[in-house]
Structure 1
Amino acid sequence: MTAEEKPTASVWTRPRRPQREQLTREQIVAAAVELLDREGTEALSMRRLGSRLNAAATSLYRHVANRDELIQLVVDDVYGELEPPATADRSRWRAAVTRIATDLRAMALRHPWIAPELGQVGLVHIGPNALRMSSGLLAQFEAAGFPTAEKDQAAGTLTAYVIGIATSEAAYLSAIARSGRTEQEWVADLRPAFDEASRDHPRLRDGDSAQQDVPPQQIRDEAFSYGLDRVLDGLAARLDV
């Protein structure tokens, strides 16, 4: 096999090494998720993680070959938080897909580092938890009546919408968290500057005035639901073609 033909390495496609010490892969993954949730991807290194586990970095390399493999493991571990997709049913496919999308967004907001990672780790989606979610989503579109070739595109479109909006939300919420303020306080502090900057843009001022007394989280939730409904409207229209 030439270098060009060599398959891409993945933690999921090589044998798991025998455990010869107390430190386990599960402990490493749990500590990595905690570190990522607290400090983000920039803080994750094998040396830093080993320090948190009171273990040498070399001990971690017995379980994962490198940082990329560790990211594959932690991403799939977080996917394990999602509820198993409902049994596929043609009459309830839209409700089931809505729940999957809503749960995926909630997962991404609990772990703000994950959304940007999903597009960067080529084989992360072959972990067992990610495969279970993806397969369940495809089953819903199949039950709805999408042909084989199109159900993959439908699932990709839905996932791209959720991950895209969750990436933006996660960055916004992370900035607020670093400020030490609540989202309500953050928005209130920005309002005078927005009012001044939008003085010559009445359409922007009208939209902001209509939502001035609405809690920021409710605005985000409603915006997500609106976009999701429009995506599903477009996909549902394909069933009538």
Structure 2
Amino acid sequence: MARDTLTPDRILRAAVELLDDEGLDGLNMRSLAKRLGSAPTAVYWHIKTKDELVRLAADAIWSEVELPDLDTTDWRTAATAHATGLHAMFTRHPWLSQAFGSHLLHGPGQARHNDLSLGIYEKAGFAACDADRAAAAVFTFVLGSALGPASQVSLNRRLSKGGADAEQLTAEAMARATETALRFPRLRERLGTTAATEYAAAPDDSFAFGLRSLLDGFEARLTAER
């Protein structure tokens, strides 16, 4: 395929697909070029390094998250919608939360959301410095909540590539973890309970609970200050 048929946008779309399929470790210029039906040298004409490719791909997927309109939405509704959208995006692209720990990520896509987040908490009534802290607290919570699913995807991929039965190994690990938990009273009490079953069936409920608790705390603080 001729070099001029490649565009940065097309390369980034293919890179995101490759990252979704193979994770950070599976991304390299040769694999990307093969997916594009091109030569690695053609990709280098547009994007020079893997680090640059990860940064650009990571910034591109922020466009998947809808920006709430602060002129027509109250701050708490906007905060909930924004955080929930970010969490869904991180869950769809599990490599992104890992990239935050290994790459310097920045760009207009991420900056647009950072700016909106500050606007949300300024609208709530926080002074500028506290709006920064509130936005950082919520983003850290969203990112941390996405690490579990991301780690599971990465683990399953690594085990499967090693020829192992990922489901069997996970089940064996869970059985050993259960044996360990039986030695501790509060963990033992929860094993086999309805609460534990419901949590396992719908772990995202813990994200919604945590987000509500954070926003409740913000609201209580603002009320007390007034």
Q: Quick one: distance in 2 between partners of 1:217 and 1:26?
A: 38
Q: Quick one: distance in 1 between partners of 2:191 and 2:169?
A: 15
Partner in structure 2 of residue 232 of structure 1:
215
Q: Write the letter of the residue equivalent to 1:224.
A: F
Is the aligned partner of 1:214 residue 2:194?
no
Indicate conservation of the 8 Å contact 2:23/2:154, yes or no.
no
Q: How far did 1:131 drift?
A: 2.1
Q: SS in structure 1 opposite 2:198?
A: coil
Partner in structure 2 of residue 144 of structure 1:
124
Q: How far did 1:107 drift?
A: 0.8
Residue 26 (structure 2) aligned to one of 43, 47, 64: 43
Partner in structure 2 of residue 6 of structure 1:
none
TM-score normalised by structure 1 residue count: 0.78
Partner in structure 1 of residue 107 of structure 2:
126
Q: Quick one: distance in 2 between partners of 1:191 and 1:171?
A: 15
Q: Quick one: distance in 2 between partners of 1:105 and 1:142?
A: 22
Question: Structure 1 vs Structure 2: percent identity of aligned residues?
Answer: 35
Q: How far did 1:229 drift?
A: 2.1
Q: Quick one: distance in 2 between partners of 1:232 and 1:187?
A: 35
Is the aligned partner of 1:166 residue 2:146?
yes
Q: How far did 1:74 drift?
A: 0.7
Is the aligned partner of 1:103 residue 2:49?
no
Given the superposition, is the C-alpha separation of residues 112 and 25 from structure 1 closer, same or farther in structure 2, using an over 3 Å criterion?
A: same
Is the aligned partner of 1:33 residue 2:16?
yes
Partner in structure 2 of residue 84 of structure 1:
67
Partner in structure 2 of residue 202 of structure 1:
185
Larger CA deviation: 204-213 vs 70-79: 204-213
- Structure 2 residue ranges without an equivalent (≥5): none
Is the aligned partner of 1:116 residue 2:98?
yes
Q: Write the letter of the residue equivalent to 1:161.
A: F
TM-score normalised by structure 2 residue count: 0.83
Q: Quick one: distance in 2 between partners of 1:230 and 1:74?
A: 32
Q: How far did 1:136 drift?
A: 1.6
Given the superposition, is the C-alpha separation of residues 223 and 40 from structure 1 closer, same or farther in structure 2, using an over 3 Å criterion?
A: same
Residue 154 (structure 1) aligned to one of 126, 131, 134: 134
Indicate conservation of the 8 Å contact 2:18/2:27, yes or no.
yes
- C-alpha root-mean-square deviation of aligned residues, in Å? 2.5
Partner in structure 2 of residue 3 of structure 1:
none
Indicate conservation of the 8 Å contact 2:199/2:205, yes or no.
no
Q: Quick one: distance in 2 between partners of 1:47 and 1:205?
A: 50
Given the superposition, is the C-alpha separation of residues 209 and 88 from structure 1 closer, same or farther in structure 2, using an over 3 Å criterion?
A: farther
Q: Write the letter of the residue equivalent to 1:79.
A: W
Is the aligned partner of 1:61 residue 2:44?
yes
Indicate conservation of the 8 Å contact 1:176/1:186, yes or no.
no
Q: Point out the structure with the larger helix share.
A: 2
1:195-232 deviations in Å (ceiling 9; x for gaps)? 433332231022233234426241x1121122222222
1:94-132 deviations in Å (ceiling 9; x for gaps)? 12111111111111111110012134433x3322x2222
- Structure 1 residue ranges without an equivalent (≥5): 1-19
Q: Quick one: distance in 2 between partners of 1:186 and 1:104?
A: 31
Q: SS in structure 2 opposite 1:125?
A: coil
Given the superposition, is the C-alpha separation of residues 65 and 173 from structure 1 closer, same or farther in structure 2, using an over 3 Å criterion?
A: closer
Q: Quick one: distance in 1 between partners of 2:199 and 2:136?
A: 31
